Structure 1
Amino acid sequence: MTFDVVGTLIDFEGGIKDCLASIAAEAGAAVDGEKALTFYRKARYSPEALRFPDDLERVYMVIASDIGLPAEPRYGKRLRDSAASWKGFPDSAEALARLARRYKLIAMTNAQRWAYEHFADALGRPFHAAFTTDDTGTEKPDPAFFQQVFAFVEGEGGRKEDILHVAQSQYHDIGVSRRLGLTNCWIQRRHAQPGYGGTIEPESFTQPDYHFTSLAELADAVEREKAA
């Protein structure tokens, strides 16, 4: 199984909103977390974007005045550094541990390696291998990212057809994984919330092979199938 990490396993939206709320409290201001995510999304996906999450310093300076916060570099650095303490979704670590008993788990993240190491700690280090933007030199949905993972899997005696790709982002993962011929599973983390939050909206919706609203549901489904 291959996994997107940020947004699927790690609650980056919650981490960003918590950090912005702490900055607002310190500055004697207030911030609307969902509104902030809309501005974040627009700033993050721009030609000036750097690698994530280092790019959060730049993003903060772009959106600060729009969301009513002081445009001070120290706060941008705080937002960037907050990635080290972002939490997994409540079901992530336990579900990954269950899945790892049956499958080799491979992380595929647009985050930099330094951030991934913190994420892996938060998730209980369940991964057999991990590919970050530092490793691949590119970001999903670039097919080149996936091709490097395919080569690794083949090097271990597997095939692309053996992979189940698990992700939250229609834009970064579900659409491109379908085009590349992978079986995929959409974890709809924002099922109870409108819109796409901090993730770019896809041009078109891709119907996944499997669809759950939590990772625990996927782990449950696997265990039911194996027990049948």
Structure 2
Amino acid sequence: MNLTHYRALSFDVYGTLIDWEAGIAGVLAPWAATQGLDLNEEELLVSYAANEAAVAREEPGWRYPWVLAEAFRRTGVDLNRTVSQVWANRLGNSVPQWPAFEDSAQALADLAQRYELIIVSNVHRDGFAGSNEQLRGDFAAVITAEDVGAYKPADPHFEALETTLGDLGIERNQLLHVAQSLFHDHGPARRRGLDSVWINRRHDRPGWGATPEPDEQWGYLAELSSMAALAEAVQRAFAD
């Protein structure tokens, strides 16, 4: 992977730059405690993962807070519990409070010195605006689910990304997609012939967590454990 070749980096946000598992578990765990469920955070995330993916697939035009709320309700059904509207809304409205990974903001600032940065995210515009108060990113373009009327791993985000590259005068082979999720990002990137790098935030934990196991072929050029590691790799590449 020749990092000096690329002119743009596109980013998944939730799971890559923002710790969405901490954000989701921060609502699911207290709810589970009120329901007398003896489940740890990882077990709750696994129960939740397939439901969010299913709602996003079935209702591509919904704003992300509605997807989160319905996925929570379905998770309750799976666990033989009822999720009240109050709890469903608590998760749906929580996106702006989800914490950024501690290395994300500095890594984005460092990478912006070398590349155009583009967001490609399964979120609504207001949710990302809240998250970017933590990230402080200077982005050439922001592509959200609300913009394209769909959720990854469906194609519309990546179709919009290719249009954006054209607008920026950047060739497809000059883009590197940066993401945690093999399911949401590396599968469709491979399908569309885009280079990608895996930020494996779960490198020290087994299982898939809040992300479903990928159901299509995926690939990536390199695996790194953090955004800081990517920024350091870029610094070394340009210093050589």
Q: TM-score, normalised by structure 2?
A: 0.87
Determine if contact 1:29/1:69 at 8 Å carries over to the other structure. no
Please, which of 17, 22, 36 is the counterpart of residue 9 of structure 1?
A: 17
- Identical counterparts, % of pairs: 37
The alpha-carbon distance between structure 1 residues 163 and 16, as it changes in their structure 2 partners (threshold 3 A), is same
Q: CA deviation at 1:219?
A: 0.4
Alignment deviations for residues 62-110 of structure 1 (CA, whole Å, 9 cap, x no partner): 2236558652110111111111200111111111111011111000001
Where does 1:131-170 land on structure 2 (aligned, <5 Å)? 131-170=143-182
Please, which of 45, 51, 54 is the counterpart of residue 37 of structure 1?
A: 45
Consecutive unaligned residues of structure 2, counting only runs of 5 or more, are 1-8
- Cα distance between partner residues in 1 of 2:186 and 2:130: 25
Alignment deviations for residues 40-69 of structure 1 (CA, whole Å, 9 cap, x no partner): 112212255544232121122222365586
> What is aligned with 1:224?
236
The alpha-carbon distance between structure 1 residues 157 and 28, as it changes in their structure 2 partners (threshold 3 A), is closer
> What is aligned with 1:87?
99
Computed over aligned residues only, the root mean square deviation of the Cα atoms, in angstroms, reads 1.9
> What is aligned with 1:46?
54
Where relative contact order (Cα < 8 A, 6+ residues apart) is larger, the structure is 2
Alignment deviations for residues 4-44 of structure 1 (CA, whole Å, 9 cap, x no partner): 1111111111111112234455x374542111111111221
1:77 and 2:85 are equivalent in the alignment: no
Q: CA deviation at 1:125?
A: 2.7
1:181 and 2:193 are equivalent in the alignment: yes
Please, which of 70, 75, 85 is the counterpart of residue 63 of structure 1?
A: 75
Determine if contact 1:170/1:205 at 8 Å carries over to the other structure. no
Alignment deviations for residues 114-152 of structure 1 (CA, whole Å, 9 cap, x no partner): 211111112113322100011112222222321211111
> What is aligned with 2:115?
103
> What is aligned with 2:3?
none
- Cα distance between partner residues in 2 of 1:4 and 1:23: 28
1:21 and 2:29 are equivalent in the alignment: yes
Q: CA deviation at 1:206?
A: 2.8
- Cα distance between partner residues in 2 of 1:164 and 1:18: 32
Determine if contact 2:173/2:195 at 8 Å carries over to the other structure. yes
Secondary structure of the structure 2 residue equivalent to 1:166? strand
